[in-house]
Amino acid sequence: MSDNKRHVHAELMMEYAIDASKTDKPWELYEWRQKGDGWLKCGSNPKWIDFYEYRRKPEMITVGKVSFPKPVDYELKTGAGYWVADWDCYIYHWDAGDTDMRLLKRGQIHLTKEAAQQHCDALIKISRGEF
């Protein structure tokens, strides 16, 4: 293998190693799937199969009985797409401008449309007193 090639899951494997230094069951923090299928919990150390997708489970925020994924709390790379927890769930692209910084400060930025929608749905339930 040449020096410029690395494993397709290298970055996540490094994150996994850090988690493994903090817990004896790091796989409980991760999920896997075959492309296009739903996410499944890892039951043991991941196999890191090239054609599978892996991710660290999203952190969740719970208010009463309502849960939603934790919004992003860091600046994104310029041009990175993100979704906003608002009524329309549009995609935006990060340029570190005033709007980006305001949404980041308000805790409205998510990396997937699904996470933004879950956040928005949770806010609706909370505003209706359904928590």
Provide the number of structural domains found in the chain. 2
Range of the domain at 73: 60-127
List pLDDT tens digits, range 73-82: 999 999 999 9
CA distances from 66 to 30, 106, 109, 115, 125 (A): 22, 19, 18, 14, 8
78 and 100 assigned to the same domain: yes
Tokens of 89: 């769930």
Bigger pLDDT: 90 vs 51: 51
Q: Which one-letter amino acid corresponds to residue 51?
A: F
pLDDT at 12 over 90: yes
Q: Do the domain assignments include residue 65?
A: yes
Of 60, 53, 59, which is closest to residue 11 (Cα–Cα)? 53
Q: Are residues 33 and 77 in the same domain?
A: no
Q: Note whether 101 and 66 are same-domain residues.
A: yes
More confident residue, 90 or 84: 84
Mean pLDDT of 9-26: 95
Q: Residue 73 falls within a domain, yes or no?
A: yes
Distances (CA, A) of 45 to 12, 25, 70, 116: 13, 8, 25, 29
User: Does one domain contain both 28 and 72?
Assistant: no
Residue 1: which pLDDT band, with cuts at 50, 70 and 90? very low
> Does residue 83 share a domain with residue 122?
yes
Q: Tell whether pTM > 0.75.
A: no
pLDDT tens per residue, range 94-114:
999 999 999 999 999 998 888
